[in-house]
Structure 1
Amino acid sequence: MTLSRLLHLSVAERIQLVEDLWDSVAAYPEQVETSPEQLAELEKRLAELDAAPEGRESWDEVKARILKSL
């Protein structure tokens, strides 16, 4: 299917297509290649997180903060 044909789909149909595509990728995470740069960034972020554990928030805390700001 070409991009021009995809753009003729309704917004709802395009969103569904994106969800279906994402699900097909997520079903096989071992096939997703991670570049050395991406791995280095992940390692850096994990090290920063380990260095400052007191700054961590639970999902409930983050969610409450976001909902409070709305």
Structure 2
Amino acid sequence: QFKPEFLALSPNNRMPAIVDNDPIDGGAPISVFESGAILIYLADKIGRFLPTETRARKTVLEWLMWQMGGLGPMAGQNH
């Protein structure tokens, strides 16, 4: 995970990271790292799971950030 090829995808040298070889803009592949960023990117790309209406989007993002900052790390500590 410290090899230059991986650091080009995930500069924080951690998983998860994805590469979208077919971005919406048709340009070069796009790399995305961090689970929340990946989920938002994919939801925006396919047009599902993340509302476009402001209040509904806010609620989904609040719960996503709560999971990333609270529940997710705590679950990772449970052996």
TM-score where L is the length of structure 1: 0.33
Q: Which has the higher helix share?
A: 1
Greater strand percent: which structure? 2
Bigger relative contact order (CA 8 A; separation at least 6): 2
Answer with 1 or 2: which has the greater Rg: 1
